[in-house]
Amino acid sequence: MSAGAATRTKAETRFYWSLRLTLAGLVVELGSLFGLQHPLGFMAFAAFGCTLVALGVVLFFISLFAIPPAAEAPTETE
């Protein structure tokens, strides 16, 4: 746990989660490209890769628009 994590706002926490989710989705997509000629490659991409990236993007927009920055207070530590 870092000192930075202790003072993160909700928006920042969501932002960092969106980074992780999107990164995980892209890792799955990259892996699925190696299984391009196999149905499981497509399923991994569609079921996990796309879903994770979509969640990441949605969370990013929530972190941008959901809470006005001035109204935020720092959250608990992670």
Partner 1 sequence: MSKFLSVEPVAILVMLSMGVIVLLILRPTLIHSPGGRALAVIALFALPVASVRAGFNLHYESTKTTSFCLSCHVMEPYGESLMVADESSLPAAHFQNGRIDRKVACFTCHTQYTLFGDLNAKLNGLTHLWVYYTGQTPERIELYSPYQNRECLYCHAGARRFEEIHVADMPELVSNGIKCMDCHTTAHDVAGASAAEKWKPSIQELLEVRP
Shortest gap between Cβ of 11 and partner 1 (angstroms)?
A: 10
CA quadruple 40, 42, 46, 52: dihedral sign: positive
- Bridge partner list, 74: 9
CB of 37 or CB of 71, closer to partner 1: 37
Q: Which residues bind partner 1 (CB under 8 A)?
A: 4, 12, 15-16, 18-20, 22-23, 25-27, 29-30, 32-33, 36-39, 41-43, 45-46, 49-50, 53-54, 56-57, 60-61
Shortest gap between Cβ of 78 and partner 1 (angstroms)?
A: 13
Torsion, Cα 36 42 48 49, to 10 degrees, reads 50
CA quadruple 25, 28, 30, 35: dihedral sign: negative
Shortest gap between Cβ of 1 and partner 1 (angstroms)?
A: 15
